[in-house]
């Protein structure tokens, strides 16, 4: 059964669910997208798990941040934790980019409830240190450029810089006008996302305690910062498999939705009793070693 939409709708349906229910998977979208990006995953799961894919703050059907205090990942994660608490059994968490950082934050808060983690390039920028090379400077430069353009009122310029960074030069111009308009409406939320991600207080020692079956995927054409974050997490998390997906970039869960959804579903099936994992087509590593 597919569940998409606002948190209120999702929570109402969860409370009203009756009878035997399959395992529950909660999928969290990237910045600027919405829960509908996970349609391919719904198809790939094929009944192995019930999918919940809510819209986060700022998404088209998501809640609006009230602006009564400084925004943090705690605020974004609070509704996710309520969703987890409303379900029976262990939860399979999935996240892409910003959604991956949210999934990790939720896993730290409810580790005993999480059956598996499947992440595509989580944007946990706080793990990049200013002294460790160009990755931190690169992503900080993006955040500052976008923030300055938004402060000047140039939403189009800010979103062009943002989209071209994550998807490649020319990607903004290739978008349909209605998609550009939707991203420009969403644009003020991106500064909240960046500040919350850089301000995440969790340390590597906290992730080292997450003894949860985890699979992190990275595209071979992705920007260096998220690839480095994936390596950092895979090195420290005790049960984490790092997979490199050939020929795709940071936005692969959207641009190559079917391919990535199949890999995510494989990992979930491997952790759900009575299901089996399909063959994997990617190059994999487990804690830095070939798997």
Domains detected in the chain: 2-128+201-290 (3.40.50.1820), 134-195 (no CATH)
Closest by alpha carbon to 75, among 65, 61, 85, 83?
65
Q: Above pLDDT 90, what percent of the chain? A: 82
- C-alpha–C-alpha distance, residues 199 and 220, integer Å: 27
Tens-place pLDDT, residues 195-249 = 999 999 999 999 999 999 999 999 999 999 999 999 999 999 999 999 999 999 9
- C-alpha–C-alpha distance, residues 167 and 248, integer Å: 10
6-20, 65-79, 94-108: least confident range: 6-20
Q: Above pLDDT 70, what percent of the chain? A: 86
Q: What is the mean pLDDT of the chain?
A: 89
- 8 band by pLDDT with thresholds 50, 70 and 90: low
Average pLDDT, integer, range 138-159: 98
pLDDT of residue 281: 40
- 13 band by pLDDT with thresholds 50, 70 and 90: low
From edge to edge, which strands make up the β-sheet containing 240-245? Answer: 2-5, 49-54, 23-28, 91-96, 114-120, 214-219, 240-245, 283-286, 289-290
Angle CA 124–101–4, to nearest 5? 155
The pLDDT of residue 284 is above 50: no
Closest by alpha carbon to 222, among 259, 242, 247, 197?
247
């Amino acid at each position: 059964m597919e569940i998409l939409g606002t948190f209120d709708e999702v929570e109402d349906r969860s409370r009203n669910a009756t009878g035997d229910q399959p395992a529950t998977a909660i999928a969290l979208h990237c910045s600027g997208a919405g829960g509908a990006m996970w349609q391919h995953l719904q198809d790939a799961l094929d009944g192995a798990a019930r999918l919940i894919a809510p819209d986060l703050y700022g998404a088209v059907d998501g809640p609006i941040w009230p602006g009564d205090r400084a925004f943090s990942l705690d605020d974004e994660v609070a509704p996710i934790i309520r969703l987890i608490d409303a379900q029976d059994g262990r939860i399979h968490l999935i996240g892409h980019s910003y959604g991956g950082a949210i999934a990790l934050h939720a896993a730290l808060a409810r580790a005993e409830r999480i059956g598996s983690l499947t992440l595509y390039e989580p944007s946990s920028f706080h793990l990049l240190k200013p002294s460790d090379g160009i990755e931190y400077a690169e992503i900080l430069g993006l955040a500052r450029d976008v923030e300055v353009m938004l402060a000047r009122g140039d939403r189009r310029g800010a979103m062009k810089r943002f989209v071209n960074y994550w998807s490649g030069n020319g990607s903004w111009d290739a978008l349909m006008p209605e998609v550009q308009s939707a991203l420009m409406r969403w644009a003020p939320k991106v500064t909240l996302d960046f500040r919350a991600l850089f301000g995440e207080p969790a340390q590597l020692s906290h992730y080292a305690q997450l003894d949860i079956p985890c699979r992190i995927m990275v595209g071979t054409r992705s920007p260096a910062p998220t690839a480095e974050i994936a390596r950092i997490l895979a090195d420290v998390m005790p049960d984490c498999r790092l997979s490199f997906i050939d020929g795709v970039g940071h936005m692969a869960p959207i641009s190559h939705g079917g391919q990535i959804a199949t890999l995510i579903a494989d990992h979930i099936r491997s952790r759900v009793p009575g299901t089996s994992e399909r063959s994997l087509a990617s190059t994999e590593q487990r804690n830095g070693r070939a798997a």
